[in-house]
A and B are shown apart, each in its own frame.
Chain A
Amino acid sequence: MMHLLSIEWLKLKRLTTLKVILMVYAVLLPFIFYLLSLTEWYGLAYDESIYMFPDVYHYVTYISSWFNLILGVIIVVFTLNELKFRTQRQNMIDGLSKREIILSKFYVVTLMSVAITLYTFLIAVCFAFANGGTDIFEGIRYIGFYLISTFGYFIFAFFLANLLKNPSLAIVFYLLSTFLEGIIGLIPSLKDYAQFFPLSTFGNLIPPPIIPDVYPYALTEIETAGLGFVYVLIFMLLSYWILKKRDV
């Protein structure tokens, strides 16, 4: 694993686009929360408690999760760079197996999800502490859900990139899928099923923060998390299967 990651690191550390997007993200995210804290907008039916434990986790992860949709684009770009430069082919010719090709990207996506989750966690904790919060573990389950949700979005982006092989197509489909699932979810006869769709599952892990804090879906939170994991696994295996079948 470390071997594959160190190879990926050599490719990524000098990728300027990636650095710029991540830097903008890192600056923008806390700044947006700061701006929001100045407004009277508390996100739907919330009040100031959103900046305190336990609600802070729910609120911060919910707002941040919208950014994940955008960050998924990075995954598409850096995955398809390897096709554009034909370096995926070269990496294989030089000795990597198709399994290792998929795994190395999987590790990067995992690491990126963990890093983004930790960063979001940090922002939430900072806000809560600034507002006199003390019990850091209260409501922390949202950080876990956020990790799975982020991971899910990213893996889905990765899967689409592998499937479509074209960055513009993959990005359009990636963004469209969310809307599409959302619209399907509005059709009364399909409404009950749409919540089990992959992107809805990833999204449902962090429902809109409204009071009272009840989970509005058919599955429980834990079950949704489990289903999210299953989807992650499915998209990973499909990506591997696609690459295995394909002439690179």
Chain B
Amino acid sequence: MGNTVLKINKLSKSYKTIKAVNDLSLDVKERMVFGILGPNGSGKTTTLGMLLGVINPVSGSYSWFDNGTKDANRKRIGSLLETPNFYPYLTAVQNLEITAKIKGVSNPSEQISEVLKTVDLFERKDSKFSTFSLGMKQRLAIAATLLGDPEVLVFDEPTNGLDPQGIAEIRELIIDIGKKGKTILIASHILDEIEKVCSHCAILKEGNLVRTGTIREIIGNEESTLIKLSTSNLEDIKKCIDDDSGISLYKDLGDKVVISVSKERNTSEINKYFFEKGIVLSELSVYNESLENQFLEIIKKS
């Protein structure tokens, strides 16, 4: 990974008594496809709003391209924040002409045709925005982000309002853009989406950064293996876990427990360890955490 594209330092925002974003620090480097994952109301859009200059932070700072918070930075970023915002009485092309003009795109008409083709809206280019379906509006917003071939793309819930086919297409598109070496920032509450398109991810909960890292680090547990155990008395297992610093309780499933052990230790070794402690395991298997569970787990724990 190359240069830092975005540096966020202790960014905070509160609305009256509610802390929407709390001391958020993150680094996004060149060519990362960075996901911001969190349930509704976790501060994703507020964070992006601050980064895009429309929401004033209470404290903290951020810097794009090592160039601070200058308004001109945003001309190098294609952004879709929250909803597609266009002039309803203008056509798709006329709307994009405005975007292109603000961004200072050198060859607007060619680029507008090109991005409309990319999102499959070229046939409707002369229809008014007000006649568009939600999915088309969303696609037009994505087309607008591509104008001027920006270095960075910011997508807030990019597949919002799209049908399954549309969702698949937009994900493909984002993956393609990522492959072209662009830096992408995506906020989503859809785990599947983040997993499919992102290289890195930060998990937010109630405005706090819960975890950050590569997708693999968060989902895949690179350093540790999860093992599901069962025995007649789970309390015995829990006691042994406390004795061994290399084993930790990952999750209590009620009648079973999931433990986390370092990668080097295999299941037979674990079996032996418990047997020596006088515990006969009735079940022992590698446990594969789904992203969904993983996410809910992280959210719950914090």
Contacts and interface: CB of A to CB of B under 8 A. Distances in A.
B71 interface: yes
B51 to A, nearest CB: 10
B87 A93 contact: no
Contacts of B71: 92, 95-97, 100
A89 B85 contact: yes
A59 B104 CA distance: 47
Given A14-B90, A89-B81, A248 B54 contact: yes
A96 B54 contact: no
Interface of A: 3, 6-7, 10-11, 14-16, 81, 85-87, 89-97, 100, 245-248
A interface secondary structure, majority: helix
A15 B89 contact: yes
Given A7-B101, A7-B102, A247-B49, A95 B88 contact: no
Interface string B223-234: 000000000000
Interface in B184-231: none
Interface of B: 49, 52-56, 71-72, 74-75, 79, 81, 83, 85-90, 94, 97-99, 101-104, 144
Given A10-B98, A11-B90, 5 more contacts: A7-B102, A89-B81, A93-B81, A94-B102, A247-B54
A94 B99 contact: yes
Nearest to B49: A247
B97 A10 contact: yes
Given A93-B52, A93-B74, A86 B83 contact: yes
11 contacts: A10-B101, A14-B89, A85-B86, A85-B87, A89-B54, A89-B81, A90-B99, A93-B81, A95-B102, A95-B104, A100-B71
Q: Which of A81, A91, A97, A247 has most B Cβ within 10 Å?
A: A247
B103 A94 contact: yes
Nearest to A246: B56
